[in-house]
A and B are shown apart, each in its own frame.
Chain A
Amino acid sequence: MNIFKISSQNLYRNKLTTLLNIILVAFGVGILTILFLAASQIGDKLEKNAKDIDLVVGAKGSPLQLIMSSIYHIDFPTGNIPAADAYRLMKNPMVKRAVPLALGDNYNGYRIVGTDSTFTGLYGLSLQSGNFWKKDLEVTIGNTVALTAKLHIGDTFFGAHGLTGNSDIHKQHAYVVKGILKPQGNITDNLILTNIGSVYKMHEAPEEEHEHSATESKEINNKQITSILIQYRSPMSVIVFPRMVNQSTNMQAASPAMESARLFSLIGVGVDTLKWFAVLIMGIAALSIFISLYNAMKERKYDLAVMRCLGASKFKLFLLVLLDGLLVTAIGTCLGLLIGHASLELIGSYQESSQARLSGMLIVPQELYLIATGFFTGVLASVIPALQIYKVDIADTLTKAR
């Protein structure tokens, strides 16, 4: 028997009110949890994957789409660029490192990326087992790919045309798994890496497909690639190089930093709205707790007078009423955090693109703020009802019949 039990029994007695208040708090905290978790993960993914990449050069189109497809491997590529033009650009003195990418195929939704050894340098890739790809049709796969597709070294598989789905399988050539990467914590976990030659080989015209192959073989004869990831030699190039690409070539240059910022400003409005909505719910929760505690004081004042009579100090009873509010918000906050994590995990499991999948299985430091907010809400809502204690006249309350 302690003040904690008195408080919890009292809350249990007013089950419905308590439940409503807990749900309100949980709902507010839940939404905020989802927001914090999602925002930090998206921000993290954007930052990690775009690390060390100063510019992406690809076919003209939406710069955001170019960034999305070449760095985050989410959207479709904007098109192809002539390999000759690309290689000319890669030799530019302002470029420190240039990584060519050839996209277009997938295996079970994991994108097959044709590139060269500079790619491993750019992302600082290291092997868990096996080797990097050397010859055509050899692949090195990301850790997640190996785990979920259950591919081992020496296994072979067929790539499918397109970036999702496996309806149009390139049956004429099989890839051989030569190596598996260590978990990198970025997009490369979800990629299948090979050389550009393999991608060309896949799209060489087989005898059977007449119409389809006609256009594609032309594509290959002209040797095209999808995009180039570029790292500058000096920061000075930031201004000159993109302008040079956009004006003097038939390609476009897009800066990941700028496009990420633009993307964030686009979704930022929605995030802000949700955030204020959650804050509003928390406010309503505080008000609801306040009203229920305040109303209950009319009835509870007898209980509290009895407790005073039995020897409890005013301060002890002040804490008791405060504890009522705090218990509700504490339970609500815990429940809200749980709901937030669980629903984000659920959202993640329904997401199609494995590259941008959100997880509820991690904790962000902002959750400490949420716990503090819950605590603050509890104190805020119950401090005024609790202060009533100091006004209760015990003798008067207990002598007068109810």
Chain B
Amino acid sequence: MINITSLAHIYEQGRRIAFPDWEIADMEHWLLLGASGSGKSTLLNIIAGLLKPSQGQVFIHDTNLYTLPARRMDQFRGKNIGIVFQRPHLIQSLNVLDNLELAAVMAGVPIDSEHNLALLNDLGIADKAQNYPAQLSQGQLQRVSVARALVNKPDLLIADEPTSSLDDVNAAQVTEMLTTQARANGASLVIATHDQRVCKYITKTYLL
């Protein structure tokens, strides 16, 4: 379902990284491994439709991502791709539930409160629904950001170093959550990491 072909990116400083071709089938789980600075984040951003590559194509569901006009691209990303960042990046002025609803509103899809509550329930933070981000712990925040990535039932879930700021217990929980939730939602999963703790959950690897 996801296909990248002859992809390469040239940074502002002129450094060029070429990415090997990659095919991710429906519901497959992949690890994106590589040393710091090897271009993991760049590749994720390209797949997520956030960064236009200098060369090559990204196909998601036969849609050539970078031929879409800007507005359609934003919509496509909102509806089909869920992204979990290294930092949770929640909107501080909105409570947890509103942060989830925001994902639906911004993607222009109807709000499904039941689904949102079920997600929070699955992630064990249902009781925090009315709390504001400032009142949550690092681990809880990361769970909310996982929940937010799943709000629009995406086909592809992308996580960029989701465990780097978490302790062992939380890191294990978050990784487990990502895999089980991706499975439950029928989404493909790509985790970029250099964290050994994540590796034991996922077998397929793409090395940079």
Using a CB–CB cutoff of 8 Å, the interface residues on chain A facing chain B are 1-3, 5-6, 9-10, 12-13, 302-303, 305-316, 394-395, 398-399, 401-402
Contacts and interface: CB of A to CB of B under 8 A. Distances in A.
Interface of B: 41, 45, 48, 50-51, 70-71, 74-79, 83, 85-87, 89-94, 98, 101-108, 111, 148, 152, 160
Nearest 3 Cβ contacts at the A-B interface:
A311-B78, A311-B107, A13-B93
B160 A399 contact: yes
7 contacts: A1-B104, A2-B105, A5-B98, A310-B106, A311-B77, A399-B85, A399-B160
A399 B108 contact: no
Contacts of A399: 41, 45, 85-86, 160
B112 to A, nearest CB: 12
A198 B74 CA distance: 87
Contacts of A302: 89
Nearest to B99: A306
A19 B21 CA distance: 55
A316 B148 CA distance: 20
Question: By DSSP majority rule, is chain A's interface helix, strand, loop, or mixed?
Answer: helix
A311 to B, nearest CB: 2
B102 A309 contact: no
A78 B133 CA distance: 75
B106 A311 contact: yes
A38 B196 CA distance: 76
B170 to A, nearest CB: 17
Nearest to B77: A311
Q: Which one of B77, B93, B108 has the greatest number of beta carbons of chain A within 10 Å?
A: B93
Given A312-B74, A314-B70, A306 B105 contact: no
A82 to B, nearest CB: 80
Given A3-B105, A402-B87, A309 B93 contact: no
A303 B92 contact: yes
A11 to B, nearest CB: 8
A202 to B, nearest CB: 73
Given A6-B91, A395-B51, A311 B74 contact: yes
A306 B98 contact: no
A12 to B, nearest CB: 7
A312 B90 CA distance: 15
Contact of A13 (B83, B92, B160): B92
B200 to A, nearest CB: 26
A2 to B, nearest CB: 6
Contacts of B152: 311
Given A311-B79, A399-B45, A9 B94 contact: yes
Nearest to A311: B78
A6 B86 contact: no
B85 A398 contact: yes
Contacts of B50: 309, 394-395, 398
Contact of A310 (B71, B92, B93, B107): B107
A234 B135 CA distance: 84
Nearest to A305: B89
Given A1-B102, A6-B93, 19 more contacts: A1-B111, A5-B98, A6-B102, A9-B94, A306-B90, A306-B91, A307-B106, A309-B50, A309-B83, A310-B78, A310-B102, A311-B74, A311-B78, A312-B74, A314-B74, A399-B41, A399-B45, A401-B87, A402-B87
